[in-house]
Amino acid sequence: MLSINPSEISTTKLHSYLLSAIAPRPIAFASTTDAKGNPNLSPFSFFNVFSANPPILIFSPARRVRNNTTKHTLENVLETKEVVINVVNYAMVQQMSLASTEYAKGVNEFEKAGLKMLASDVVKPFRVAESPVQFECKVKEIVALGKEGGAGNLVICEVVKLHIHKEFLNEDETINQQKLDLVARAGGSFYSRAKDGFFEIPKPLSNLGIGVDNIPLEIRNSAVLTGNDLGMLGNVESLPKTKDVNKFAKEHAEFVIENKVKKHTFAKAFLAKNDVISAWKVLLME
């Protein structure tokens, strides 16, 4: 058995052990605004429910291990004391993952991830319209657990209003867990789907994805491609070069078609195999 004293290994390695061993973890897709009203959206898996009366949710934006900086979400809740926590299901998990990219302050992750902003009733931060359940919250307290990289910050939130899409409810207004189809976080690039177990999404943090907002409207408005598909397409640093697209076209003449539905269907088949670059080449072929 490997026995470890936390003080004798790097924070990075300890962080990896913790995230891989303590899993799956629910995901708080936290929507905030800064003092000027600029929206921000980011997922956190240090999250759970801790009380029903009053209704209390707690999530923890940790200080970055690599450089001991704080995340925009933490900065925003310190300024405004409000947050919306949206739950994440399988239909939106790729877009949620794209929103975890560390875009510069002021960049709207709703737009980058191709998610709709829905006005809240009580608080200023927007809700994620695609989320099955959304919790409008007032921040009661923020507890800093340390000052070094990797230290968490407990954001203690009281739910002041919750919203549930009716399609996820049974006739007696209880939540149908099968229809809800929640996903949870594990270590590395792994996630867990409540219905099917573990699956993997490449982490988008090593570079800046172009974002769904930079995908041509013809593709964004596709009748074939889903939000998850668009999230995958938006998680590329740049589009394939014209010469590479032309070479691909010569090698795969069967994909050179004018019918958009068929073209998008071919692209979707590549996305199902996690071959995002080939999907883009199909979509960009003339």
Determine the pLDDT at residue 76. Answer: 97
Q: Would residue 147 count as lying in a domain?
A: yes
Picking from 177, 200, 223, the residue at the C-terminal end of a domain is 200
Picking from 200, 230, 248, the residue at the C-terminal end of a domain is 200
Q: Would residue 205 count as lying in a domain?
A: no
Q: Within this chain, do residues 138 and 190 fall inside the same structural domain, yes or no?
A: yes
Determine the pLDDT at residue 70. Answer: 92
Angle, vertex CA 67, rays to CA 65 and CA 71, nearest 5: 75
221: number of Cβ within 10 Å:
10
Convert the pLDDT of each residue in 191-224 to its tens digit.
999 877 767 777 665 668 899 999 999 999 999 9
Structural domain count of the chain: 2
Helices (H) and strands (E) in the chain, counts: 10, 13
Q: What is the pLDDT along the chain (286 residues), one digit of tens a residue?
A: 999 999 999 999 998 999 999 999 999 999 999 999 999 999 999 999 999 999 999 999 999 988 998 999 999 999 999 999 999 999 999 999 999 998 999 999 999 999 999 999 999 999 999 999 999 999 999 999 999 998 999 999 999 999 999 999 999 999 998 899 999 999 999 999 987 776 777 766 566 889 999 999 999 999 999 999 999 999 998 999 999 998 988 888 776 666 788 889 999 999 999 999 999 999 998 8
What are the b/e assignments for 58-97, b being 16+ CB within 10 Å?
bbbbbbebeeeeebbbbbbbeebbbbbbbbbbbebbbbbb
Q: Within this chain, do residues 100 and 172 fall inside the same structural domain, yes or no?
A: yes
Q: Would residue 206 count as lying in a domain?
A: no
Q: Within this chain, do residues 92 and 135 fall inside the same structural domain, yes or no?
A: yes
Q: Which domain holds residue 234?
A: 212-284
CATH number at residue 147: 2.30.110.10
Report the chain's terminal Cα–Cα distance, integer Å. Answer: 58
Q: Within this chain, do residues 174 and 228 fall inside the same structural domain, yes or no?
A: no
Picking from 148, 167, 200, the residue at the C-terminal end of a domain is 200
Q: Would residue 88 count as lying in a domain?
A: yes
Answer yes or no: pTM beyond 0.75. yes
Q: Within this chain, do residues 184 and 60 fall inside the same structural domain, yes or no?
A: yes
Distance between CA atoms of 64 and 69, rounded to whole angstroms? 5
Convert the pLDDT of each residue in 125-168 to its tens digit.
999 999 999 999 999 999 999 999 989 999 999 999 999 999 99
Q: Within this chain, do residues 224 and 171 fall inside the same structural domain, yes or no?
A: no
